[in-house]
Structure 1
Amino acid sequence: MKILSIDTSNYALGIGLLDDSQVMGEYISNIKKNHSVRVMPAIQTLMNECGVNPKDLTKIVVAKGPGSYTGVRIGVTIAKTLAWTLNIPMTGVSSLETLAASAGRYFNGYISPLFDARRGQIYTGLYQFKDGKLLTVESDKLVMTADWAPKLKELDRDILFIGTDLPLHRQVIKDLLGTKAQFAEVTEHNPRPAELALLGSDKPAEDPHSFVPNYIRLAEAEAKWLESQKKQ
């Protein structure tokens, strides 16, 4: 079973190819360039280098958010298009779940992946590996960092924080949690597209026509429009 994974949900761009339990290849970049321009060439390059044709693919797995509204939409649109045109199943996986799996597999505690959501807010959740499986302890949410950290202080184990946006919130977390807060190394902050593919390999297929991303909150423009409609 050859799985193509796509993650454009945040700053990093990730493409992966998984053949059963073997990672055939991964492409990861963390540079300020437009995902919409770069994602298809990245897919084509990786597939060519791995000798995989579109007809060889058996499943598409996409990071469904939360994250950048535009970034999530780009990846999901491409995944839906590929799944429909190739007539193969597709599956969405939480972008935060993917990040947690990328660095927390051997951490004996809780994992709190995070993406910056501006104004002191983060997209985050709480995960834990148990018997080799990643379990969701707290579902993905949008929360103030200053509210999230005190809640974690009540837990019985240390918490590992992961994410390229961590420097923006690290001091607040450290001040509130002290030594209970552990921070992933700089090389561990990018979500691994191979982990995304692996997580999605066992999840049920979803209809590409009805599949929707998990933005958690509305895009700013949409929220303003809805607010204006209420006033009218």
Structure 2
Amino acid sequence: MLILAIDTSTSAITVAIHDDERVRAQASHLDPRAHTEWVAPLVETCLTSAAVTASDLTGIVVGNGPGPFTGLRVGIVTGLTMGHALGIPVHGICSLDVLAAQSAPLVDGELLVASDARRKEVYWARYAVRSGAVETLTAPAVDRPADLPDEVRALPTAGRGPGLFPELFANALPVLDVDATVLARLAVERLRDGVDMPVEPLYLRRPDALTTAERAKR
């Protein structure tokens, strides 16, 4: 098994290669508005670092988001296009699940993941960590931070939400963006367990761009 992982749902464009036992290569670049420019070079960097070619890959996993439309779409389309060209399966994992898994060593109990959704909103979901295992408690959603219940905002919180709204998220965790090495590890674990991982982009709201017909109705 040789899995390429790609996530562009957060401020980090992040790529990794996992061989079923360990991470063979990883590369990331931090820029919330340069996903298109960086994802292909980072994939090439990882292939070179791992001393493999694209034809050696047996699968690809992408972060399903949620994330801003344009950035999220870049990673998903890249993964799907490569998978089609190579004739290998492409899988998807919720990016908030990855942030929760990155936070698991720091938490024993419930935690919140709140990532930047722009428009003064956050993408969020609740999780529980028990003996290192992460359980999803709520489906991903997008809301203004002040609209979340007080007891939810008081939880240890991963993602960029606390940095953007420090007055609302007082219990910040030092986990900001998705790490493709963790995305790859989760994919390997779920493949071993036979878990279905469809690629389902979680935009959670319509893109900013409107069609001509939509603009005419306004």
Change over 3 Å in CA distance of 1:77–1:97 after alignment to 2: same
Amino acid at match of 2:35: H
Partner of 2:172: 183
> Which is further off, 72-81 or 50-59?
50-59
Q: Distance in 1 between matches of 2:142 and 2:211?
A: 15
Q: Distance in 2 between matches of 1:29 and 1:218?
A: 26
**What is the aligned counterpart of 1:215 among 203, 207, 210?**
203
Matched, 1:173 2:169: yes
TM-score normalised according to structure 2 size: 0.87
Change over 3 Å in CA distance of 1:27–1:149 after alignment to 2: farther
Aligned length: 213
TM-superposed deviation, 1:133: 3.0
SS of corresponding position for 1:114: strand
Question: Tell me, which stretches of 5 or more residues in structure 1 are unaligned?
Answer: 175-181
Partner of 2:13: 13
Does the Cα contact within 8 Å between 1:103 and 1:189 map onto a contact in 2?
no
Change over 3 Å in CA distance of 1:227–1:29 after alignment to 2: same
Amino acid at match of 1:191: V
SS of corresponding position for 2:138: strand
TM-superposed deviation, 1:165: 4.1
Amino acid at match of 1:189: L
Change over 3 Å in CA distance of 1:47–1:147 after alignment to 2: same
Deviations along 1:131-176, one digit per CA (max 9) or x if unpaired, are: 44321101100122112142527xxxx72211134211121233xx
Matched, 1:199 2:186: yes
Does the Cα contact within 8 Å between 2:145 and 2:168 map onto a contact in 1?
yes
TM-superposed deviation, 1:225: 5.9
Partner of 2:158: 162
Amino acid at match of 1:216: L
SS of corresponding position for 2:139: strand
Change over 3 Å in CA distance of 1:71–1:45 after alignment to 2: same
Amino acid at match of 1:200: A
Deviations along 1:3-48, one digit per CA (max 9) or x if unpaired, are: 1000112211100111113111211221356211211111111111
Amino acid at match of 1:183: A
TM-score normalised according to structure 1 size: 0.82
TM-superposed deviation, 1:61: 0.4
Partner of 1:177: none
Partner of 1:139: 139
Superposed CA RMSD in Å reads 2.3
Question: Tell me, which stretches of 5 or more residues in structure 2 are unaligned?
Answer: none
Deviations along 1:80-126, one digit per CA (max 9) or x if unpaired, are: 01111111111111111111112233410212111222344211001
Runs of 4 or more consecutive aligned structure 1 residues displaced over 6 Å after TM superposition: none
Q: Distance in 1 between matches of 2:118 and 2:181?
A: 28
Partner of 1:45: 45
Q: Distance in 1 between matches of 2:74 and 2:212?
A: 22
TM-superposed deviation, 1:226: 4.4
Partner of 2:108: 108
